[in-house]
A and B are shown apart, each in its own frame.
Chain A
Amino acid sequence: MSSPTDDLHSEPLDLSRWRPLPLVLMAVGGLVAAFGAIHDYRQFSYSWLLAFMFFLSLGLGGLIMVILHHLFDAAWSVPTRRFCEHLACLLPWMAVLFIPIALNVAFAHGDNNLYPWIKMIKAGQSDHSLASKQPLFTIPSFFVVALLNFGVWTVLSRGLRYWSLKQDETGAAECTVKMRRYSAAGVVLFALTLTLAAIMWMKSLQHEWFSTMYGVYYFAASIWTTIFTIYVITTILKRQGPLRQVATKKTFYFIGSLMFAFTVFYAYITFFQYFIIWNANVPEETFFYVAREAGGWWWASMLIIFGHFFLPFLFLLRIDVKLTWAMLPLAGWAWLMHFIDMSFNIMPVLHPKGYHLDPSDLGCMAFIGGVLAWLFLKNFNAHPPFPQKDPRIAEAMDVYVPPDSYAQALEPKSGGGH
């Protein structure tokens, strides 16, 4: 069986007919979503939030991969870093895609409100749970958190890519130092903003519920999906040429290992969140899971247990499978599982009786996916496909270049006879 990891000589595939795909997705998805918004605005709002949180995962995943690359001074991830920077640079655009959610929070009436607590505020009502979250759970605070999050993500993603592109020109060590500084501050800010995003945009759909693990949970799910995405992009870029020389077996192996690690990490986080709540059996917490074990949601939860964990876990257990084409359908499966997982978190509020796939869900996914794919490709085509003068590029490619210090030490001294 051929492998994506040693495919150095195959001709690039003709992908020209797929080039309009982002525009098609945008157009068709946009139409379906617009029709959904007119037909059932409430459903549309939840579908949009679902698609937004799904794709936010990829932007945040790209950003943290770049940050971790610099903090760990890693070498193997150099070939994938540039497109991870482009993934991260989708985050400022996510601010634009946040507008429908912001409009809902600002102007929706009655049951059309996405967040029940905002509906209560607009109706002049309150409950203990909402009152105790003041002043965080107010409409102005909702927008302040959104501004903070998008502001931090814009500064970090743009700053990291700026210095990365600068290094393509100069090759200067200073650029690496700057990126490390961005990453050092960035990792703290990333933890803060991701947690706020998960709490304010997703957990607050049931504002009475609380779990200290929730930020970590969204983080684990996001990274998991992003790593699978990275594998697919690396495979395509290797086959098509841009990463043919620089992405080696090692690159694929390490991405595969990360997939395995985060498959386990996600299961670990999800299991313990569930188990601790189940075992303590406090009604203020258990209602979250009771709702998700009711009706058809039971099967969604089973799908998460077996499809999100057991299937990829057993699949990735073998070392050699990480270097085969079989990884690509697994990546598609991972996207499906992340979609189910995000639905499991968001949709029981709207559809308490069980899982329901609405055309609006697909329309919003297609539209946001199309917009982001178009932006990603535009960015990718405008810049070199990988950091060409990264100080660890030789290490990443398994190419040996003697460091200057050794080269000098081994040079014969002038006038010497040996």
Chain B
Amino acid sequence: MSDAVAPFEMPPQTGRKQELVVKAPPKALEREPLVTHQRSIGWLSDAIAGVAEGKTPKWWWMAFVPSVTLMTTCFTMILYLMSIGVGVWGPGHPVMWGWAIVNFVWWIGIGHAGTLISAILFLLRQRWRTSINRAAEAMTIFAVMCAGIFPLIHVGRIWFGWWLFPIPNMEGIWPQFRSPLMWDVFAVSTYFTVSVLFWYMGLIPDLAVMRDRSKTFIRKFAYGLFSLGWTGSNRHWSNYEKAYLILAGLSTPLVLSVHSIVSMDFSVSQLPGWHTTIFPPYFVAGAVFSGFGMVLTLLVPLRRLLRLEDIITVRHVELMCKVTLATGSIVGYAYAMEFFIAWYSGNPYERYAFINRATGHYWWAYWTMISCNVLVPQFFWFKKVRTNMIFVFVLSILVNIGMWFERFVIVVISLHREFLPSNWSYFRPTWVDILTYLGTFGLFFTFFLLFLRFVPIIAIAEVKGVTPQADPHHPLGGAKEGGHH
């Protein structure tokens, strides 16, 4: 083993020269490789592409059939709502937003992790993202689709949904640009568009791999069509890398802006519990928190089912747990600040709003939120928890539950006790509310399962670039023989 030596000078006052002996980190602090067991490049292609090739496994059908059933339920409920009216839902005065907006914010929050992993972690040169970005991006797109359903059908007369867009028309009807709900329309639709573009762009080299491996005409044609004539030439890669960087740059402010704008649905109002300046960063942190919660929920079982443990390694799971811990703690700080400033402000309505959250009719929702979002992620401080996949899976589900309750607390508890006591009420969801929400899980999982069967769930080209073999400095790397690196 060779130690690198570089002389350096001590500060001018001492005038000494000293030799720096650079050593490898102690065993306990060595970084785990991002692809374990020294898997070869060929093995990676086979393992990842193989998921979308070959016979459909039984477990896939066992998941797909209930998902499609639930999705059908969702659309049935929407048709029912359209035929009868929004009265079939629970919202009523003063909780006009009800479950629809709770579910909207929850799904849109989940849709944050994908583009965060793809764009922000890419710009931060976090190479571990390569094993998880593809699935997380797909999750983002499907989650945003689920999210989009709720405000659209919540408008009541869904057939006038196009009024949300500033389309010149004979009646001179124009959207209310001063409403944050309008800003949502633009923020979410832009985010969705760029997320789809980003996802598809990253897919192109891998679709070409699928094309080249295809054995049937239909698959070859379909993958060939969508891979846009990719040959893997130097020119293609050069253009691809530039475009990817630009899209990453464009996506980054979008990731942060979407949930900041969603937070303004609440914070620009004067309602106690809603009007608080920390909402934008708190919502973004919460969205990343719930997004990573969902990525963990999906990938922890999938890495086992698809035998991808050498690519989505324990280190990846640990790192995702750490992001969850960090963002959960930021959310905890925001909860504490909200409560503290409600007291500090001396505003009796603010104080009541927060005390009512903790001790009122919906106290159980508040404490579920606190337990799942603040206490549960604290388990991730411990390596033993982060490396135990069953623990991680269970905790990630609790994170998802907690974040749904956070939106419930914000929307329902704040609204059901507004300024005038004569308006107070108790919100209860109806069976249509519940089935519509559950139905969106069907929509989400149907698309996700189809994604698993037809698209490489890990970025094949990117993950090869983070193997030890791709590192010219590494003993297993290509340049070790005769290389001077």
Of residues 1 through 47 on chain B, the ones whose CB sits less than 8 Å from some CB of chain A are 1-4, 6-14, 20, 22-30
Interface 0/1 of B320-363, CB less than 8 Å to A = 00000010010001100110010111110000000000000000
**Any A CB within 8 A of the CB of B219:** no
Tell me the minimal C-beta distance from A275 to chain B in angstroms. 8
**Any B CB within 8 A of the CB of A125:** no
Contact A410 B475 (CB under 8 A): yes
**Any A CB within 8 A of the CB of B256:** yes
Tell me the minimal C-beta distance from B286 to chain A in angstroms. 14
Query: Which of B155-163, B260-268, B387-395, B415-423 touches A?
Result: B260-268
**Any A CB within 8 A of the CB of B275:** yes
Contact A404 B9 (CB under 8 A): no
In whole angstroms, what is the CA distance A181 to B281 when docked? 27
Query: Which of A89-97, A127-135, A293-301 touches B?
Result: A127-135
Q: Which of A245, A392, A401 contacts B3 (CB 8 A)?
A: A401
Contact A284 B345 (CB under 8 A): yes
**Any A CB within 8 A of the CB of B430:** no
Q: Which of A129, A184, A246, A268 contacts B8 (CB 8 A)?
A: A246
Of residues 245 through 283 on chain B, the ones whose CB sits less than 8 Å from some CB of chain A are 256, 260, 264, 267-270, 275-281
Tell me the minimal C-beta distance from A382 to chain B in angstroms. 9
Main secondary structure of the interface of A (DSSP, over half): helix
Contact B268 A401 (CB under 8 A): no
In whole angstroms, what is the CA distance A242 to B275 when docked? 51
**Any A CB within 8 A of the CB of B485:** yes
In whole angstroms, what is the CA distance A176 to B31 when docked? 14
**Any B CB within 8 A of the CB of A282:** yes
Query: Given A195-B337, A212-B341, A242-B8, are A172 and B26 neighbors across the interface (CB < 8 Å)?
Result: yes
Q: Which of B22, B26, B338, B474 contacts A394 (CB 8 A)?
A: B22
Query: Given A210-B341, A213-B277, are A272 and B9 neighbors across the interface (CB < 8 Å)?
Result: no
A384: chain B residues at CB < 8 Å are 10
**Any A CB within 8 A of the CB of B473:** yes
Q: Which of B8, B13, B270, B475 contacts A244 (CB 8 A)?
A: B8
Tell me the minimal C-beta distance from A4 to chain B in angstroms. 17
Query: Given A244-B8, A245-B7, A403-B30, are A216 and B22 neighbors across the interface (CB < 8 Å)?
Result: no
Contact A132 B26 (CB under 8 A): no
Contact A277 B277 (CB under 8 A): yes
**Any B CB within 8 A of the CB of A399:** yes
Contact B25 A381 (CB under 8 A): no
In whole angstroms, what is the CA distance A409 to B28 when docked? 17
Q: Name which residue of chain A comes closest to B333, CB basis.
A: A191
In whole angstroms, what is the CA distance A324 to B165 when docked? 46
In whole angstroms, what is the CA distance A397 to B22 when docked? 9
Q: Which of B26, B29, B260, B347 contacts A284 (CB 8 A)?
A: B347
Q: Name which residue of chain B comes closest to A240, CB basis.
A: B12
Contact B1 A401 (CB under 8 A): yes
Contact A128 B346 (CB under 8 A): yes
In whole angstroms, what is the CA distance A95 to B88 when docked? 63
**Any B CB within 8 A of the CB of A233:** no
**Any B CB within 8 A of the CB of A380:** yes
In whole angstroms, what is the CA distance A244 to B7 when docked? 9
Query: Given A212-B338, A241-B8, are A276 and B277 neighbors across the interface (CB < 8 Å)?
Result: yes
**Any B CB within 8 A of the CB of A145:** no
**Any A CB within 8 A of the CB of B431:** no
B474: chain A residues at CB < 8 Å are 400, 402, 406
Query: Given A184-B381, A211-B341, A268-B280, are A407 and B275 neighbors across the interface (CB < 8 Å)?
Result: no
In whole angstroms, what is the CA distance A195 to B337 when docked? 9
**Any B CB within 8 A of the CB of A405:** yes
In whole angstroms, what is the CA distance A399 to B29 when docked? 17
In whole angstroms, what is the CA distance A273 to B260 when docked? 12
Interface residues on B, range: 35 or more
Q: Name which residue of chain A comes closest to B341, CB basis.
A: A212
Query: Given A176-B29, A280-B270, A403-B24, are A244 and B9 neighbors across the interface (CB < 8 Å)?
Result: yes
A195: chain B residues at CB < 8 Å are 337
Of residues 372 through 415 on chain A, the ones whose CB sits less than 8 Å from some CB of chain B are 380-381, 384-385, 388-389, 391-394, 397, 399-407, 409-410
B22: chain A residues at CB < 8 Å are 393-394, 397, 399, 401
A-B contact count (CB 8 A): 158
Contact B381 A215 (CB under 8 A): no
A242: chain B residues at CB < 8 Å are 8-11
Contact A276 B329 (CB under 8 A): no
Q: Name which residue of chain A comes closest to B350, CB basis.
A: A210
In whole angstroms, what is the CA distance A403 to B31 when docked? 9
Q: Which of B11, B27, B337 contacts A405 (CB 8 A)?
A: B27
**Any B CB within 8 A of the CB of A269:** yes
**Any B CB within 8 A of the CB of A352:** no
In whole angstroms, what is the CA distance A381 to B3 when docked? 27
Tell me the minimal C-beta distance from A345 to chain B in angstroms. 15
In whole angstroms, what is the CA distance A212 to B331 when docked? 13
Q: Which of B2, B8, B476 contacts A401 (CB 8 A)?
A: B2
B28: chain A residues at CB < 8 Å are 173, 177
Contact B264 A276 (CB under 8 A): yes
**Any B CB within 8 A of the CB of A359:** no
Q: Name which residue of chain A comes closest to B346, CB basis.
A: A132
Contact B277 A273 (CB under 8 A): yes
Contact A211 B26 (CB under 8 A): no
Of residues 431 through 471 on chain B, the ones whose CB sits less than 8 Å from some CB of chain A are none
Contact B23 A171 (CB under 8 A): yes
Q: Which of B25, B260, B326, B345 contacts A392 (CB 8 A)?
A: B25
Contact B11 A402 (CB under 8 A): no
**Any B CB within 8 A of the CB of A103:** no
Contact B6 A399 (CB under 8 A): yes
Tell me the minimal C-beta distance from B153 to chain A in angstroms. 28
Q: Name which residue of chain B comes closest to A241, CB basis.
A: B9
A172: chain B residues at CB < 8 Å are 26
Query: Given A241-B9, A276-B279, A279-B268, are A133 and B344 neighbors across the interface (CB < 8 Å)?
Result: yes
Given A184-B381, A242-B11, A276-B277, 5 other A-B contacts at CB below 8 A? A211-B341, A243-B8, A244-B8, A268-B256, A268-B280
The 16 listed contacts between A and B (C-beta, < 8 Å) are A131-B346, A132-B343, A133-B346, A136-B344, A213-B278, A240-B12, A241-B11, A244-B9, A245-B20, A272-B280, A282-B270, A391-B26, A399-B4, A399-B22, A405-B30, A407-B24
Closest 5 CB pairs of A and B: A132-B346, A391-B25, A212-B278, A400-B473, A241-B9
